[in-house]
Structures are given as C-alpha cells and as structure tokens.
Structure 1
C-alpha cells in the first residue's frame, strides 16, 4: 500500500484496524457451534429471556410495553437497562440469540476503541498513541470482565464515554449552536442504553472535563469564552435528555417506584473496593480469577467480587500514568487527578468523597455504585497512554537520555525486588501441604512473574525504543498491550449449551397446560426462563424492579393468604439454593431430576369479586392493613381510595363469576356477573398507564391489596377491559421527536458549513 495513501487515510485505517480487532477478540463466540451461545450469568438469566420477549414484540410490529410473565406483570419498556429504544438493540431482532449478544459486545468494543482513538486525536495525540489509547479504553479489565458475568449494558454504556468527551471537545472548539446539538448525540445514546449507575458516573465525568476546558479558557483571559463553554455544557446535556426522553421519562418514573428508591448507605456502599485489592492494578488475578461458572467460582472465592473490583488497565498504560505528572505536559495532569479521584470514590466508605455524593447527588443512593468509578482510573490510564506514547519518543535526545537512565535504575531495582519475591513465593509454595494453600502460593508466584515480565518489556520499550521508526514503536506498544489485556480478557469468552433449564422442562411436562389459571414461584432456577414455557411467575430475576412486586413476593413465600390471593399454586425449587421458610400448605408434588415441585390446593383465581372493602389513605396504610392475620382476601379487598371515587358495595349474592376471556400482554378482557355491587380484583400488578372500561365506559382503577388492580363493579353482567396506555411514553416520544427535528436542522447547518470555503 503506497505510503502517501496511508498518510492520507491514516485515521480511517487506524479505526478500521480497531474495528477488525474487536471481531478478532470475540472470535468464535460470533459463530458458535450449533446449539451453543455466549456465556454470561446475567445474559443467560436476565437479558436473554427479556430480550426474546422484546424481539417477539418487535417482530409483531409492537413495542414490548408490559411483560405479564414475571413480577406479577412488569413495565419492561421502562426498565432502563433493557435498552428498548436503543437503535443497536433493534438490529438484533432477527438474529439468532446464539450470535446476537456476542455481536452486541463486539460492536461496542469496536465503538469504545474507535471513540478512544478519536478523543485522543482531538486532545493532540498522534495516530500511534491514539491507537494504543483507544485499545486500552476498550479492553481494560473493567470492560472485558463484564462478558463473564453478562453485564452487557455496562459495556454498551461505557463504549459511548470517549465519544461523549470527543464530541464535547469538538463542540467547544466549533463554538456554534449546531455543533453543541450534534455533540449531545453520544450522551443521548448512553441514556437510551439506560444503565443508570454508569450514567451517574458519565455525566459528572463529562461535566468535570468540560468545566476544566472552561477553566482553561478563563485562565487564558477569555471570560466570555469560559461562560460560553459552561452554557454549551448545559445545552448539550439538555438536548441529550430530550433526545432520549422516550426512555428517560419512563425510566425515571420506574425508578421512583423501584426497590432502589429508599435504600440505605450500606447498600450504596456495597462492593466498594478494599485497600488490599488496589494491588490488582498491577497483579489482576492476585486474589483469584473466574473459572467455570459464576456459581462455582464464588464457592472458591468467598467475599471477593472480581467483576466489581476489576481495575486493571495494563502495565504499559500504568507506567505512562506514573510518568505523566513529571514528564508530560502540565494540562495532562488533569487526567492523573481524575484517575486518582476514581480510585478514591471506588473505596466507598473508606474515603469521604463517596459519602458526600451519596448525601447530595440525587439518584446516587439507588445503586450499588461504590466500585464503578474505578472506570475513571482506567479511562485516565488509557488517555495518558495515548498522549504519552508519541510525546515520549518525540523528546529531545538529551532529555530522553536522562529519563532513560532513571528508568534503567528503576527497572534494575524493581526487577531485583520482584525476582526475590518470585523466588520466595516459589519456596513458600513448596513448603505448603494443604491444596488450597498450594493454589494460593502458586497464584501469587504467577502474578509476580507476570508483573516482572510486563514491567520489563514496557520499560524496555521506553528505554531502547527511542529513535526507531514510529510504526515499529506503535506496533511493539500495541503488541505488548494486546498480549497483556487480551490475555486477561480472553478467558471471559466462553460458550454454553443453548438448552432449556431442566427444572422448567420438567415443570412444562408436569404442570397443567392452561397456564393462565395459576402462577408459579421459583427458587434456585433462572426465574425469567419460565417465559419460554408460558408460565406466569409471581417473581423474576432483575436487580432493579418495582418495590411493590418485591414486597408481595416476600409475603407470598411466607403468608399462605397472599400466595392464594396471587394464584400461587406451584413452587419450583432447584438444588443449589436453600429453600427459605415457606408458608403452610405447600406439599411436595414431585421431585424430578433434582427439582422439587411443591403444590398448594387452595390457590385462588386470577380475577375474583369481593363484597367487603377496607379503605386506605395511601399505599403504606394499605400495607399495614394487609399485615392483619384476620384479613381474608377472598372476602375483603384493601383499596387505596383515590379522590372523587365512590363505590356501592352490596352483600354477596349467588351465581357470581369472573372469567378472563382474553389475556394479552397489554390488554385483558374479563366477563363478570355480580348479584349486587362489588369490587373486582385482577391480581396483576398496578402501574401508571393501565386504564379500564366497563361496557365501554371508562372507570378508575384503584390500587387494591397494596398494588394489584381493582375496579368498582356494578350489579349485573359486564365486560371489563384493562389496557396499558402509558401517557409518559407518549410525552417522551413527543419530546424525542422534537429533539430529533432539532438534530436534523443542526446536521443541515453543519453540512452547509462544511461546504463553505475555509
């Protein structure tokens, strides 16, 4: 390939190489053997079942608004990390699951790497360093380890971080309204992915970066320019929120009613990094590494959450990080400070900063967030590696010679120290008799030798690579980092048989075919997988769900009246989780293939009529009433009385009935006959957006039995229809549509500007 062509298209070729590398990294996971798919704990148990429900709706030309199969009903469109409105999610609609999720990871590793390249180039880095930095951003351990645990939205969200920074930097440089609007698109994409814990990290990080640009302008005497940059930041954030309003507004409504809305500090601080785990910044597997499945691994590694405490970003970037303050340009010290700030935040209660943010930043308390800011450390490592690589090899010869002499002494000293530690660890390993101690000693020896190797080759490159052609230096640096980071990341890519869980298979064979007549409880099974067999579950698997469904589930396990009220007829218990204390009335039906299936013979119907109403002023009073052991849900409904509503309740009569005649995801039709006025209860979860009609006339749905749906039922025979029409989705869609029109206008002005002579 001619040299002139390479120089002219250098950035394009660099980006293309980074994209190809993402496909090489995921490798065979993109084309697994028949019947196999990429392994990931949450991928298998959470995103795969919800994803199949979503794609089924897309293929039918609908939105996956309400999922009736889990949690007594679930507003799937509003659960942020399911990314319903994110364009890349739609691309997977017609792909087989065996390849779809591996492709999603691949695209976002490529996106992160190219975004890192673009951002470092914008900061003044040359192509060689930008490639190194882009690679380091994409394949730091905090990214690749997410494959093993199935945290797909983590990777997807963080992939947009370098693009957010690059776009903001570009908008500040352009100083135009249209550039500011366009620069909000990457942040809007991150909003649409919806993984809020990292959004809470990304937004302050972006704000800090842009405010630092404003500070630099102010320090240079450009006060108006500094103010303009601050206003651009506000406009960028506002536009991003508007463009993503179709997801943001429903997600905020969902979060306000979620199990995270009233958490304590010990929840927010959980998974914060221990001081000792900072050693994993140089020896990533010092305390163990994933093996087999998550369950097996956790049994062998108690108390350590590898994927939450992953802060390894490579030895070569760490060397550049250490050199940046004293050797690099002064403005690069910003990244050193940002990286150390991320470490301080990740320490949680062991550092004061996390507690201050918990107390004063809205939404911070909703998530187990403590360790996540370590991404800022990885980001800083990657950016400084990208900036420092070319800077180091462009140093004047005398300056480099002086620094190289210091590095030689450091290499000698550290090499001797690490060599001694390796020898001692080998002798220690030989002195052990217990297998566990032998394994620990061996792991320490291996990590010390690994550190010695990568430290030697990294410092060796900086010492003896000076004066060589830049492409050789770039190739060597990238090769070192590929061996380092891919050596860590490749072990997280494994596949499993794409086969149904045995417990659900047996339940499908044994339990009654009319699944609408009852609900199931499942323990130690993949709760969401009942969807594949049309089972309706009282609970499900998702760390971010509605508080009401969580409370009712807990009661259903221990209170026979609630289990009966929720039509809980069968309980499935797998072999790897101890069954909690359960309510009386559950009897063993059968025990096929290690799965115990319990049954109760008093499960109530999905819809029923009562003729006694106990009024409550709010949800908490309703919950308190439900604690009364004398309350009989077959006779009495606890109703949260809404303003301007009243209902004539008559005594129960003979020949009353309520039957579901049509049950769709977001529409339920009931035929009911009552001798006198009563209260009709549908034991599906109540949520904003549900509306009801009786014989075509709209009626008010009132929260019943804490969080179920209930309507006042007049005497006679009636058709009752429940439909899900969330108004907040319409509002979000209108706002996103207006923002999209504004984006089109901004793109037009950008195009017109590009055609003007320079």
Structure 2
C-alpha cells in the first residue's frame, strides 16, 4: 500500500467517477425503472423470437430461423455460442451498468484510455472523453436502437490506442490489447463501422511507415507492422465463426447482388449493392457542417425542433382545416429537417468547442499525426457526400474492396467523430505545454481568425439558403400555377413561415457556437497571456462548456421528445406494446399447424413484430436472401395489390392458384389486413386462405427455364400446385414425375436446422418444399442417403423422390460454421495468451525502470 502513488491515481479515479455520474444523470429516466423505446430493438426482439424459443427448448441457438422472410440463416441475428469473448469483455468494461447508461460510460472510458496512451493531461482527457462519448450521433444511434453500432463506435478509441502502443515500441502489450479489442469490436458485429476504422488505421500506418523509412527505423518498422498484423489476425480469428458464415451468406443476399427483371432483358448484379440503394443516405456537402451547426438543415426528421408556438403551426391553424390537411399530405413537411436524407433521427454534431480546437490543432501539431488526421477527415467528408460527389465515390464503390457491401455513406462521419476530439485534446495539450513559447499566442490568434472566418461563412449561408426541401419546392411550383387566390396565398404564407422557422433555429446554433467558442477562446487567451496562471481553469472551462454544448442537444434526440410518436422512455409494460398479441394474432394462434402469415396491417418487409408470434413472410433485416427479395419485388408486391380488391379472398374463398402463385407456394394460410374501405371497422382482419399449398406437395410436371427472367416469368399465371419451374442447368438432377393420384408427402417435423418429411408413392414424384432455397449448407437426404435437390419456382426447393415409402430430411450443415467454430476457439486462446504475455512483460519492464 505504501508504494501506491495515490496522487497519480486520483485524476483517473475522478475520470471514471465523473463518467459514471454524468451518464447516470443523463440517463436518469432509465434508472427510475423506465425503459428506452428503441425501434430496432423492438424489431430485433420480434425477429429473433423463433431463435429464442429454440434456445429455451434445446439450450443452444439454431443456425436457421423460420421466423422472418420465410426462413433465413441466423448468422446476422444471434451471436454464435462459442464466440463468448466479446460478450464478457463488454460486460467487464461496462461494470454491469444498465442500458443506455453503459453506452456513454464505455465510450468515455475507452476514449480516456486513448488520451492516456497519447500522454495527455488526465483532465484534458476527461474533456475529450466527454466530447466523444456525448457526440450527438451517439444518442441518435441509441434512440433508434442501433445498439451494436454504438458499442462498435465505443471501441474505436481503444483499438487506436492499442495500435499507438505498438508503434511506440510496446509491442507485446499493444498487440495483446489490439487483439482483444479487435476481437471484441468485430464480434459486436457492425462491420461497416469496423471497416471505416481500419481504413483510418491504414492511413495512420502509411504515414508512420513514411516517417520510419525517412529515419531508417527499419527494425522497428518490421516489428511494429508484424505485431500489428499478428494482433489483427488473431482478433479476426476470434470471429471466424461469424466472418466465414457472413462472407458465405453475403454472396446470397441483396448485398451480394440482386435480379432486375425487365420486359426484354434480365440484369443480374453479381456483387454488391446497387449504387442507388447504397448511396441513398448521402449528405449534401453543406450538410456536413452539421458537425459544427447541428440544425443548419433543421436537425431531425421529426418535429422536435419546431414547437407548437412556431410560425408554421400558427399559419396552419389560421388556414382552412381541410386545406391544411391537404397541404401536409401533398408535400409540405412540418418537420424542421430539410436536408438531403430521406429521414434522419438527428445530426452528427461534434460540439462547437471541438471544431474550434480542431482548427487549433492544425496550427499547433506537426508530424504524421497532423497529416494523418487531416487526410482521414477529408476522406471521411468526401465519402459522406456519396452521390453528391459521385465521381469520387462511385470510383471507390467500384474499386475499393468490400466498399460496395455497405450503404449509408453518411455513416463515414464516425471517422472525424473519433479523430476530431482526439485532435482537440492534442491541440489543448500542446497549447498548455507551450504556454511560455512566444509563438503560442501567434498561432492561437491565427486559429481564432480562421474560426471567425468560418463563422462568417456560416452567417452568409444563413442569409443565402432557401430552407426548402425538395417536396416543398415541387409544391411551390404547383401552387404558383394556380389561379385560386384563396388557396395560393395561404399556402405560400405557410411555406414562408416554415422557412422562417428553419432559418431561426439555424441562427440560434450560429449564435450559440459564437458564444461557446468566444468564451473558451477568451479563457484560453487569458491563460496563454498569463493572466490566468493555473491551467486547471482551462480544464474546468473545457469540461463545462462541452457539457453545456452537447447535453441539451443530446437530450433533444434521446430523453425529452417523442421518437416515432412515442415518449423516448416508457414504463416497462408500455415498451412491450408492439410485441403484445393482437386480436388477429390470437385468432391465428389457435391453429397449431405449419403455415406462414403475411401481415399487411404493417409494412411487411420493414416490420418484424409479426415474427414474434408467427412464421412470417416479412421481417426486418438489412441482409435478405436476394432470390427472396426478387420474388417479393417482382411477384408478391403485385399479388398483395391484387388482394386489396379481391372480394372472394375477403370472404374466405381462398386465393386463386394462378393469380396468387407466390403467396400460395409460400404457404400463406393467413393474411392480416385492414377491412375493406366500405366498412367502418378498421380493426385488423384475418383472411384465411384455404388454397395455401402447405409445407410440401407433389407436382404433376416440371418445366425448365433457360434463364432467371424465364423462371420469374413462368410464375405468372402458373398453378404451382401442379407445375414446378426449374433451371435448365439442373435438368440432369430432375426426373419427370409420373402422376399418381394416391401419392402422399407430408411434413413430420420442422426443427429449424433439421426438417423431416414422409412420402409414399407408386411412381417417381417431384416434391416442392415451401422452404427458401439456400445452397450453402442445406443438404437433402432420402432414407439417410445424401441426394441432390434443386432450386424450384425461383425461390423454393425441389427434389425428385423415387417410388415407395421414404423418409426425407433436409439438414442445415454449413461447413463454414463448423470450420469457423474451431478457428474461433483457437483465436480466443491466443488472445488471452498474448494479452497475459503483454501485461507480464510490461510489469517487468516497469519494475526494472523503478
């Protein structure tokens, strides 16, 4: 005890205590027994219910779920059982704190670790940690339920710190920590964030290699690169079970390509997302200024920024109510947001003081750190522009490895979200350390002038922008052509009122930035001019100002306003309302057979709550099997539209076999939808479809299609109960059936990964199984002997069955999963060995120094 340096430990203890207290105060409703409503978490719970039920019964997770999209692998839904390291590391570092408190604490803690590796004063480190942890994108992610994304973002500074340790010749300790944090971050499974981080680290390594080469530090360079590569490989090995299955699965999903069916041609995208889909969430160049002025484009897509006392609210209240309603339906968004995104829950605001100190950083810090951070920041900004800087970004999309697997380029701003607070603490440390240098004041003045110039540009933008979204612009063109003055004038007045509201909140942000930067610049100037002697006042000012700046903005997007028309925090029982069974669900659940449900009372391809109770045709997941997406796009959507006007279906006569080929072959026995418009009862209506083909059936004929377009085309008007469509490529795997009226085949048991059927026929038959075709792992067996099966009806499975009585099994046995489990186990052992060795030799080194 006598050897413990309490004076040295105290600042770190203060840091950890501060992070806990601030997180507790910020997440106070959560500590009062309320639960945060998170849309994606609700969807996850619904979509994973089938897996959870299996785990409760068998004690382990299945590899295939029947809950969503008529069946899909569980790789991207449920963490593999033997990849336990990320779970336990996360649990230890978050100290068992409740959600969402643990997210903010973890982000602050790991950035503070980075600050200490960078040898920054602990109190400056606290400032930087709070700036990173409470950057507005974090509560926005949490409010939306993007939990894994928030965790992965929180681990970014820890990985950067580990690489810095290696490059500073702490090879074993750095590589042990790098392996641990890499394994944890990848295991938390938001690969897009990890991808951006490793691009950033790659740039850092390039700049370091250039310096090592100039200084002829070849031995150190080889060691540093070797230990870094070793650590990353081990970290990746820990996640082999996830990565190998994901890589395999990606080739079969919309991220691996999708079919475009045209009237005369078929285009098959063999790799990656389409550019249109991938670049949907792109920022206009000016919108990236939200990092400094959060509401330059209005803030969020909700109505949080514009209250009931706004000018637009007043204009609408004074208008004819019917006209006001029509106005909002025709394109006038009462939302404050008018930027380039289809929807946004909030801006990626870093804080005015962070942006100011980033400019200070450019004037004060030299060497590879400066040029690396500047290069990475510029790259991130250009990438975030997406389709608005198409020449550059389309080039990356076509040629940068794996980049075409991800969407939402606006997410690239997580790079400066990490680097700008890091630059800020380096800048502040540099100013404090060089306070006696005459050049310090000169550089600080230059940074102040540059910042002032940026604020002036913001004021010019404030005066010149039109504050109109695309919908409002189109509406204005229509209104200007109207002759009715009684309509034209109030509409134009309402549009003007909305623009003034948006303009007003942007001005508020500019004035706030001027005030915060002005105060901090003044305090920092007083210290540099030696009017203030103790730097503690600078530290206190930085910490207080970053909290005063960020917390009110964060509160807007997490604590105090509705999210998707709900209170962000709810009582526990209220938070589960979306997963409570409705009248329609209760009616359907009386049927204990094997069938699927299509819920048209929600957006079926964007909602997984139905999967909480049923085997659903829909779901909520970004990586859908592409052939199922194709069937949905080219067939099911048209059938659902026809269904809305089909009176026979509404009275329970079933779905016509040739009109509703897709729905019937997917075994859609129940359809939840609203009652026809002629009725006043808008409760969900259950449509019973007695023509659903069931889990399996024999057909009379197999027809062969020359290409994908023909496969899809033949489904139109086809009676799937009698005819099956198979690719001509698989013709040698199919025996034409001989009709047998007494032939039978039935489902015995569907246990997710093993499906068993019994058949009996006097002649060879062809069976169609209402299960999604997925070649990477599903194997077919007849009486225990492995046999070939084929993709049938574009999306399903088909199999020629010989005469006689047989047991047919489909087993999901992906080799990638078995191989990945073994590598994962080895990787976890290596991580622990490397970490123990690193800690041991670091302790020995420290004792030798003492």
For residue 38 of structure 1, report the CA deviation from its aligned partner.
1.4
Name which of 664, 680, 686 aligns with 2:767. Answer: 680
The equivalences for 1:319-334 within 5 A come to 319-334=356-371
In the alignment, which residue of structure 1 is the partner of 2:380?
A: 342
Q: State the Cα deviation string for residues 448-487 of structure 1 (Å, max 9, x = none).
A: 3322322222323322355343433222211111121222
| 2:347 equivalent among 307, 310, 316 | 310
Deviations 1:322-372 (A, max 9, x none): 111222344442323322221122122444442332121222112223212
Residue 546 (structure 1) aligned with residue 625 (structure 2): yes
* Mapped partners of 1:330, 1:126: distance in 2: 20
One of 496, 502, 505 as aligned partner of 1:440 = 502
1:234-245 alignment runs, 5 A limit: 234-245=229-240
Aligned to 2:694: 605
Distance across 2 between alignment mates of 1:537 and 1:588: 25
CA contact 1:80–1:193 (8 Å) conserved in 2: no
Residues 525-551 of structure 1 show CA distances to partners (whole Å, capped at 9, x for unaligned) of 563111222x11112121221102212
Per mean C-alpha deviation after superposition, the further-off stretch among 180-189 and 364-373 is 180-189
The answer for the alignment partner of 1:286 in structure 2 is: 296
Q: Which residue of 1 aligns with 2:720?
A: 633
Give the structure 1 partner of residue 590 of structure 2: 513
Cα deviation, residue 736, structure 1? 1.2
Classify the secondary structure of the residue corresponding to 1:637.
strand
Q: Given that residues 267 and 367 in structure 1 are in contact (C-alpha distance below 8 angstroms), is that contact kept between their aligned partners in structure 2?
A: no
Aligned to 1:729: 817
1:267–1:368: 8 Å Cα contact kept in structure 2? yes
Cα separation, partners in 2 of 1:201 and 1:259, compared to 1, 3 Å: same
Aligned: 1:710 with 2:798: yes
The 5-angstrom pairing of residues 174-253 of structure 1 reads: 174=169, 176=171, 179-180=174-175, 182-253=177-248
Deviation at 1:219, TM superposition (A): 2.2
What number of residue pairs does the alignment pair up? 729
> Shift in Å at residue 86 of structure 1?
6.2
Is the CA contact (8 Å cut-off) linking 1:571 and 1:598 kept in structure 2? yes
Equivalent position of 1:63 in the other structure: 61
Taking the aligned partners of 1:733 and 1:118, their CA distance within structure 2 comes to: 32
**Corresponding position: 1:564 with 2:664:** yes
Asked if residue 485 in structure 1 is aligned to residue 550 in structure 2, the reply is yes
1:567-607 deviations in whole A, cap 9, x for unaligned?
Answer: 123333479xxxxxxxxxxx899985454554544222121
Once residues 12 and 384 of structure 1 are traced to their aligned partners in structure 2, the CA distance between those partners, rounded to angstroms, is: 24
What secondary structure does 2:75 align onto?
helix
**Unaligned residue ranges in structure 1 (runs of 5+):** 94-98, 426-430, 576-586
Greater CA drift, 473-482 or 563-572 = 563-572
Which has the higher mean CA deviation after the structures are superposed, 535-544 or 174-183?
174-183
Equivalent pair of 1:72/1:684 in contact (CA under 8 Å): yes
Q: What are the equivalent positions in structure 2 for 1:95-244 lying under 5 Å apart?
A: 103-174=98-169, 176=171, 179-180=174-175, 182-244=177-239
Q: Which residue of 1 aligns with 2:778?
A: 690
Q: What does residue range 360-399 of structure 1 map to in structure 2 within 5 Å?
A: 360-397=399-436, 398-399=438-439
- Shift of residue 218 of structure 1? 1.7
Q: Distance in 2 between matches of 1:742 and 1:464?
A: 52
Residue 615 of structure 2 corresponds to 536
Counterpart of 2:46 in structure 1 is 49
Q: Does residue 513 of structure 2 align to residue 451 of structure 1? A: yes
Higher relative contact order (CA 8 A, sep 6+): 2
| Residue 250 of structure 1, CA deviation | 0.7
Structure 2 CA distance, aligned partners of 1:625 and 1:355?
A: 30
- Which of these residues, 372, 397, 410, is aligned with residue 358 of structure 1? 397
Q: Deviations along 1:252-275, whole A, 9 cap, x unmatched?
A: 111111112233323332222102
TM-score for the superposition, normalised by structure 1: 0.85
The equivalent residue for 1:96 is: none
Against the structure 1 CA distance between its residues 512 and 393, is the aligned structure 2 distance closer, same or farther, given a 3 Å change threshold? closer
C-alpha offsets along residues 609-632 of structure 1, whole Å, 9 cap, x if unaligned?
Answer: 124223468xx5486365353543
**CA separation in 1, counterparts of 2:513 and 2:177?**
43
2:747 counterpart SS class: strand
Query: How high is the TM-score relative to the length of structure 2?
Result: 0.77
Go from structure 1 to structure 2 and tell me whether the alpha carbon gap of 1:725 and 1:248 turns closer, same or farther (over 3 Å shift): same
Query: Which digits, 9 at most, give the CA deviation of each residue in 1:232-258, with x for residues without a partner?
Result: 343333222212101101111111111
For residues 476-517 of structure 1, the C-alpha deviation after alignment (integer angstroms, 9 at most, x for no partner) is 211111121222112222224224349961321343622544
Q: Distance in 2 between matches of 1:722 and 1:646?
A: 17
Q: Residue 668 of structure 1 corresponds to which residue in structure 2?
A: 755
Helix, strand or coil: the match of 1:669?
A: strand
What value does the CA root-mean-square deviation take over the aligned residues? 3.9
Q: Write the distance in 1 (CA, Å) between the matches of 2:193 and 2:421.
A: 18
Is the 1:415–1:456 Cα contact (8 Å) retained in structure 2? no
- Name 2:312's counterpart in structure 1: none
Asked whether the 8 Å contact 1:124–1:387 carries over to 2, the reply is no
The answer to whether the 8 A contact 1:136-1:313 is kept is yes
Partner secondary structure for residue 77 of structure 1: coil
- Residues 251-262 of structure 1: pairs in structure 2 closer than 5 A: 251-262=246-257
In structure 1, C-alpha distance between the alignment counterparts of 2:661 and 2:453, rounded to whole Å: 71
Q: What is the CA-CA distance between 1:58 and the residue it aligns to?
A: 4.5
SS of corresponding position for 1:372:
helix
Q: 1:621 to 1:345 in 2, by over 3 A?
A: closer
Q: Which runs of 5+ in 2 are unaligned?
A: 258-272, 306-327, 466-491, 559-567, 640-659
